[in-house]
Structure 1
Amino acid sequence: MALFNKALARIGIGAARVDAKLVNDEFRAGEKIEGIVEVYGGNVEQKIDSIYLRLFTTYVKERDDKKYKQDIELNTFKINDPFTIQPSETKSIPFTFQLPDDTPVTLGRTRVWVATSLDIKDAVDPSDIDHVKVLPNLMVTSAIEAMEQLGFRLRQVECEEAPRRMRKRLPFVQEFEFVPSGGLYAGKVDEIEIIVQPSGLHDYDLFIEVDRRARGFGGFLSEMLDADESLVHVHVSEKEIPQLKNILTNIISRYS
């Protein structure tokens, strides 16, 4: 029977299970995620080589005029040394890891999750998934508030594959798309797209595109490939946030 149980465990039947429990489920990029991974022994003794926490999101890629979503690993964290889990035993392993500064905000269609997996030799690796809410950092929050004050509303947030000249650690950027809801720019501007990229401890690169006509999904990054003259790149520090509304006003007025 013992050999039979081991054979079943190799294909995942009666094997060890894993469950990650987060202390919180709301964070900002750069903050620490804390929690406990609980490993539940199955019907047989099993050696756990490693426990990995992998942080994922998705972004939109385009190939042959077709768009599709691609999962991407933002970071990986190993939290243990090898150990053996006995039948019906429970082990609790605390963990702490830091969200990368370039973790996208979970607004619009963007999702971020932690995948926890056990690395078991010669067996199916059990896994667990926990979604987390990533709140906007100070610069993103300030940009959204400034745009709302200028008479725009946030219409869409999407992670899209970036041109090579815009890539940093990751192959995508998160785009915030705004449309006029009234005010000075109604009838003059169809949409404005903004990308916020960390460039230091308290510094950010902002890319702003003012569109006089709606080009639809993907227009912003498409025009970036052509080095469109209406693409504006500004460097803004957190100290300049009180002037952010004026900075955006000058750019929008120039191209509207």
Structure 2
Amino acid sequence: MVFKRLLGSLGVGGPSVDTVLDHGTVPPGRALTGNVHLKGGGAEFDIEQITLELVARVEAESDDGEHEGAVVFDRFTVGGGFRLAEGEQRSVPFSVTLPWEAPITELHGQSLGVVLGLRTELAVAGARDRGDLDQVHVRPLPVQEAILEALGQLGYGFKSADLELGRIGGTGQQLPFYQEIELTPPPEYAHVVSEVELTFLANPEGMEVVLEADKRGGLFSEGHDALNRHVVSHEGAGHRDWNAVVGSWIRRLVDHHASHGSHSPHAYDDPYASHVQKGHHGGGDHHHGGGHHRSGPGMGTVVAAGAAGLAVGVVGGMVAAEVVDEIGDAFEGDEEDGGDEEA
């Protein structure tokens, strides 16, 4: 959805901006392209700089509860240094690269309830105004989709997805937040595990997969979490038996802790598994083949059938487009920058 706004800081007669993206969905690490359309106002204006900001709505935990706010996690300068004549129309094309850790917003066309926005900021005659805000749709990388499909084939159901402000210790995380995809367990683990949380941390070479099992209370003295990390490559994603691979990850995650009753994360013998900790904003760390085999519904089917409320992007009781607008209007000044980058 495209939002058009007159630049308020410049008053009546200022230029307007309309940013239009070329593609419907883009995977992490790929180019996001489009055009910034400018229309001159009632006088000439010097367009000093055109900046695009990637904005995400994230959750943060603190001593007084959980809060939501907007985080700017990347910034690109895509133009500027020209004079826009009265009434002139000009288009500035751009191509910027999504961070590899950009969260997934949809799977097989179904929204996961995570909202990202691309906001356009103009620096005009010494004033800055954040004018246009567009929703960004991110689809999974092939290896991410393969893992999600395997989880669906193994009987895991999609519950929800959100963005958490903080860092996961022991990983190569780059962004100031991480995505948690919450899954309900299949019957064979339902008596032990209440849910499994999945986090993808992609990079140009491959991806870290962080799995966390939220243990049910009663098995030991209290419920507790167990988590581990696995590293996979982008290469050969379509030629592995992901059902077997992911199934072994889950078994190691759950069975080891069920048999030993450990209350701390454990590094398995798997050469790609390691101890991880999840740290939230404002505090320290406290907590991450062969041929194809497919049977039964995949995660795409589970998302479509089992999370109908999220299919319209429900976040805080608002549909996705409204939340993007909310980021621009209600969270001004309540942001953390994720770094600067010039296109």
Report how many residues are paired: 235
Residue 236 (structure 1) aligned with residue 232 (structure 2): yes
CA deviation map 1:193-215 (0-9, x unaligned): 111111442x211111223328x
Q: What's the offset of the Cα at 1:130?
A: 0.7
Looking at both structures, which has the greater relative contact order when contacts are Cα pairs under 8 Å and sequence separation is at least 6? 2
**3-state SS of paired residue (1:144):** helix
Residue 73 (structure 1) aligned with residue 72 (structure 2): yes
Find the aligned partners of 2:199 and 2:37 in 1 and give their Cα distance.
Answer: 38
Computed over aligned residues only, the root mean square deviation of the Cα atoms, in angstroms, reads: 2.5
- Alpha carbons of structure 1 residues 97 and 190: separation in structure 2 relative to 1, 3 Å: same
Residue 25 (structure 1) aligned with residue 24 (structure 2): yes
Question: Partner of 2:212 in structure 1?
Answer: 209
Question: Partner of 1:153 in structure 2?
Answer: 157
CA deviation map 1:100-119 (0-9, x unaligned): 11111114331111111210
Residue 16 (structure 1) aligned with residue 20 (structure 2): no
Find the aligned partners of 1:20 and 1:199 in 2 and give their Cα distance.
Answer: 28
- Alpha carbons of structure 1 residues 248 and 126: separation in structure 2 relative to 1, 3 Å: closer
1:10 and 1:122 in contact (8 A); partners too: no
Question: Partner of 2:132 in structure 1?
Answer: 128
Counterpart residue type for residue 245 of structure 1: N
Find the aligned partners of 2:212 and 2:129 in 1 and give their Cα distance.
Answer: 45
Q: What's the offset of the Cα at 1:235?
A: 1.5
Q: What's the offset of the Cα at 1:148?
A: 0.9
**3-state SS of paired residue (1:135):** coil
Find the aligned partners of 1:10 and 1:34 in 2 and give their Cα distance.
Answer: 27
Larger radius of gyration: 1
Higher share of residues assigned strand: 1
1:12 and 1:124 in contact (8 A); partners too: no
Q: TM-score, normalised by structure 2?
A: 0.63
The correspondence for 1:189, drawn from 188, 193, 211, is 193
Q: What's the offset of the Cα at 1:183?
A: 4.6
- Alpha carbons of structure 1 residues 54 and 124: separation in structure 2 relative to 1, 3 Å: closer
1:25 and 1:131 in contact (8 A); partners too: no
Find the aligned partners of 1:10 and 1:189 in 2 and give their Cα distance.
Answer: 53
Residue 92 (structure 1) aligned with residue 91 (structure 2): yes
- Alpha carbons of structure 1 residues 16 and 233: separation in structure 2 relative to 1, 3 Å: same
**3-state SS of paired residue (1:134):** coil
Find the aligned partners of 1:21 and 1:252 in 2 and give their Cα distance.
Answer: 42
Q: What's the offset of the Cα at 1:185?
A: 3.0
Find the aligned partners of 1:231 and 1:207 in 2 and give their Cα distance.
Answer: 7
Find the aligned partners of 2:91 and 2:236 in 1 and give their Cα distance.
Answer: 45
Q: What's the offset of the Cα at 1:35?
A: 1.4
- Alpha carbons of structure 1 residues 48 and 200: separation in structure 2 relative to 1, 3 Å: closer
Question: Partner of 2:141 in structure 1?
Answer: 137
Percent of aligned positions that are identical: 28
Question: Partner of 1:168 in structure 2?
Answer: 173
Find the aligned partners of 2:78 and 2:250 in 1 and give their Cα distance.
Answer: 48
Question: Partner of 2:182 in structure 1?
Answer: 177
- Alpha carbons of structure 1 residues 11 and 94: separation in structure 2 relative to 1, 3 Å: closer
Question: Partner of 1:249 in structure 2?
Answer: 247
Find the aligned partners of 1:164 and 1:175 in 2 and give their Cα distance.
Answer: 11
Find the aligned partners of 1:114 and 1:16 in 2 and give their Cα distance.
Answer: 19
Gaps of 5+ in 1: 1-7, 215-222
